[in-house]
Structures are given as structure tokens and as C-alpha cells.
Amino acid sequence: MMKLTVAKVDQVLFKGEAASLSCTGALGDLTILPHHSPLVTPLKNGELKIVDSEGKEIRIHAESGILEVAHNEAIVIL
């Protein structure tokens, strides 16, 4: 598992442990798994697909944003 936070300026949309995060980065589709290499990328219009610690799939629409991955933690700001 990895720590994942997905937030807007005024609202936290997801915060907790996740098995994976799939999204559309500037260069194409990405899937972030636990212990992923450090990464910072802008996000394009699309959908974030989160698989939480219980295996439940959560989908969040994203028009744009930024993704940062480091130290087994991913942060998405929309």
C-alpha cells in the first residue's frame, strides 16, 4: 500500500492507503503502484482511478492537476 491524497484547493477528495492510482499524465496514461520511483507530472483531462486498501475502485474526474510521487506517497492537486 501507499499513502494517497487527492485534493482541490478547498476540499480533500481522497486521503488514505491505496493499492494503485491510474491517471492521464502529460505524456500518456500512468499507473502508480506502491514504491513507485519519484515523479512530478501535470495531469490532463481524464479520470483518476484509485484502488483503495480494500480493493474498492474509486473514480474522480480531473480536468487538470499535478501529481507528485515520492517516499511511497502520491499527492494529486486538482
Cα four-point dihedral sign 66, 40, 6, 11: negative
Task: Give exposure, 32-60, as e/b (b: 16+ Cβ within 10 Å).
Answer: beeebeeeebebbebebebbbeeeeebeb
User: For the segment 53-75, what is each residue's pLDDT rounded down to a tens digit?
Assistant: 999 999 999 999 999 999 999 99
Helices and strands per DSSP (H, E), number in the chain: 0, 8
pTM to 2 decimals? 0.95
pLDDT score, position 6: 98
Q: Which CATH number is correct for 2-77, 1.10.220.110, 3.40.50.300, 2.60.15.10, 3.40.50.10090?
A: 2.60.15.10
Q: What angle do CA 34, 6, 3 make, to 5 degrees?
A: 30
